[in-house]
Amino acid sequence: MIHYRKDTDNIVTLILDMEGRSSNLLNHELVAAFQPVIKHLQSEKAAGRVSGIIITSAKKDFLQGGDLSYLRELKDPEEAFNAAQKLKTFLRDIERPGVPVVAAINGDAIGTGFELALACHHRIALANPKTRLGHPEVKIGLIPSGGAVIRLMWLLGIERAYPLLLEGRRYSPQEALKVGIIDDLADDQTGLMRKAKAWLLSDPPTQRPWDEEDGEIPGGTAAEPNLGHRIRLLTARLSATYNDLYPAERAILDLLAEGSKLDFETACRLDSRYYARVATGQVSNNMISTFWFDKQAIRTNGLGRPKGYGKFRPRKVGIIGAGRMGSGIAFLCLRNGLTVVLKDVSQPIADRGREYVIERIDEYIERGTFQPEEREELLSRIITTDQSAEFENCDIVVEAVFENKAIKLKVTKEAEEQLDEFAVFATNTISIPITELGKGSLRPENYVGIHFFSPAEKTYVVEVIRGEQTNDETIARAFDFATSIRKIPVVVKDSWGFFTARVLNTYILEGVTMLNEGYPAALVENMGRQAGMEKGPLALADELGLSLVMRYEEQAASHYGTKYKQHPAVPALKIMLDDLGRGGKSKRAGFYEYDADGTARLWNGISDHFPVTKDDYDRRRMKDRFLFCQVIESGWCLQENVITEPAGANLASVYGWGFPRYTGGVLRYLESYGREEFAARCAELSERYGQRFTLPKALRP
């Protein structure tokens, strides 16, 4: 579990090596194993037989985070508080043996795993740009439990620690050095241990800043007027951004402000109280379930992938279309080790796509994710061309041209003529049926939809769309391609709007309906955001394009036939499109008006055509309408087998179109709300607003 070595300089090296695990995990087993080691070190110090300690790992990583299975089931705040206090006691024992301690970080140290590194007096990391360090707990609705918030405040100051904790980024060692959470880098394992020992022999301090009598937090405390004022501004900005829906984000800022006025031990106890409240809350449970367990089920365990097919490992990827989408996909492929052929109608246009890739690479070098020496290697793996012949030997080709059926069919045929019988051809489309496009393919069984969201290099989810003739092996290969470029693939049936656009459209239509009912446009937008959506429904309507919003509704009418009942938003859409010619952002005229620089504001003339008649608003009902319509449509998609995995629906909803993260996704929201309570509320909404709030069987109690 822990290997103990001591050299002639009385420097002890503790090597973490948990038995039966591929990674070290900071759990009760490791804490228990440390207890006799710490006692021995304390006795050695008392006898003058130890001058320094190095903590490192025998695994490929340094130390991973805590037990999320335990946290998902944790309901008792007192139990959570005691667990946090126990971890803090352990970490205090690490940093107070009376001798300096170095963390020689040879691999990933994430979350609770990085807490151990922070408890060391000095941190040196192996300069492997693929290693990740830091505290991403906020991404799953948590705050660190071992005192990291307080330690980072003392090391960096409130104003530097706050964004670091709020963003929850996983830093490369180079980035971590820049932001100040590690102290040094080493080129290799030998250098790592040599630097660790050299620091210990340099007569370093044996006390942490917070244990010194005259220790001060960099930049001051919240009790100081100027910093206190800036914290109040940060609090207002946080509320405006998150609408007080995310307890972890608010807890971080409150804890930094309050903890800065207290001594370290009292601040840590306060930290445990905040942690207990956050960790046992519904939001944390929702987010852990979706952003950890659902994600692992798909990316690691292949949930939704057809079984019985070997792992597809693409090496060479062809991309048709060097616009932002195609270039973004190219960058994704390059950063994950693949070779790319980027084609467009002319060499200059294809080269512009390469320039976009270069900009992204340079951006990542600037922040430390990539190293300067990686630049040429990355660029050596991209070929730009205007010739389809370059697609020879590609394992998969992704088409990302304009949403035009004739163009898509033309470039598909040209590319497929160069491919062998095993290659996959994927189209990135948002509205044209895959089955329809597949009819023009030379090998329709190898033809599949892969819907990337914009910007391709930053979003997490892709829809893998099965056409009527797409075979299981092609779906499995598309799934594997998506995971190879670090995407979460969600397999959906070829139906109108697929899954994400179909459900998102209900949110847009509900917003347009409210506008048509006489609600002020600004209120409609604000209520959408206050419900937790990333953008208001009218802004999303403009971005998608009102003609496409209408097209989806027309496809719904065709799909349901005589059972279809026109959505009450349709008359307002027709006014915008047919009478006013305001089609959305691409026309620089929609529900918003747009300046030349892209700045948007609600159209001044909107109330002339949609008069405000409501002077009394039930805000809760408005928010429920926005969220419930999306949950209900997701239920219809489940019932019609458009999507079969609730985990995929949850992840696609949050990452694909911006359903509130605090809910854990459309179907997780249903479960946390309670099926019976949800059904009762749907009955109320259905009686008031009509059949679109009727609950499908798939979601009934």
Residue numbers annotated as active site: 115, 137
Return the exposure string of 293-322: e unless at least 16 CB atoms fall within 10 Å of the residue's CB, then b: ebbebbbeebbbbbeebeebebebbbbbbb
Secondary structure class of 466 (helix, strand, coil): strand
Phi, psi of 571 (to 5 degrees): -60, -40
Q: How far apart, in whole angstroms, are the C-alpha atoms of residue 448 and residue 590? A: 33
Contact 411, 368 (CB under 8 A): no
Return the exposure string of 413-431: e unless at least 16 CB atoms fall within 10 Å of the residue's CB, then b: eebbebbeeebbbbbbbbb
Alpha carbon of 262 to those of 144, 211, 222, 252, 365: distances in Å? 19, 13, 10, 15, 39
The answer to whether the Cα torsion of 454, 457, 461, 462 is positive or negative is positive
Question: Residue 490: in which H helix or E strand, if any?
Answer: strand 488-493
Question: Residue 123: in which H helix or E strand, if any?
Answer: strand 122-126
User: Residue written as tokens 């420097």?
Assistant: 11
Contact 70, 116 (CB under 8 A): no
β-pairing, 488-493 vs 461-466, is parallel
3-state helix, strand, coil in the chain (%, to 5): 55, 10, 35
Alpha carbon of residue 81 to chain centroid: 28
Alpha carbon of 406 to those of 440, 470, 627: distances in Å? 10, 20, 37
Contact 374, 336 (CB under 8 A): no
Alpha carbon of 565 to those of 510, 561, 694, 696: distances in Å? 15, 9, 13, 16
Secondary structure class of 337 (helix, strand, coil): coil
Secondary structure class of 426 (helix, strand, coil): strand
Q: How far apart, in whole angstroms, are the C-alpha atoms of residue 424 and residue 448? A: 8
Q: How many CA atoms lie within 13 A of 383 on its CB side?
A: 16
Contact 572, 513 (CB under 8 A): yes
Alpha carbon of 142 to those of 23, 149, 548, 662: distances in Å? 22, 12, 38, 11
Phi, psi of 23 (to 5 degrees): -130, 155
Alpha carbon of 281 to those of 147, 276, 443, 605: distances in Å? 19, 9, 51, 44
All residues at 6 or more sequence positions from 11 whose CB lies less than 8 Å from its CB, including other chains: 50, 51, 52, 53, 54, 197, 200, 201
Phi, psi of 122 (to 5 degrees): -150, 145
Amino acid at 638: L
Nearest to 155 by CA among 124, 119, 126: 119
Alpha carbon of residue 602 to chain centroid: 29
User: Residue written as tokens 């069984």?
Assistant: 445
Contact 303, 297 (CB under 8 A): yes
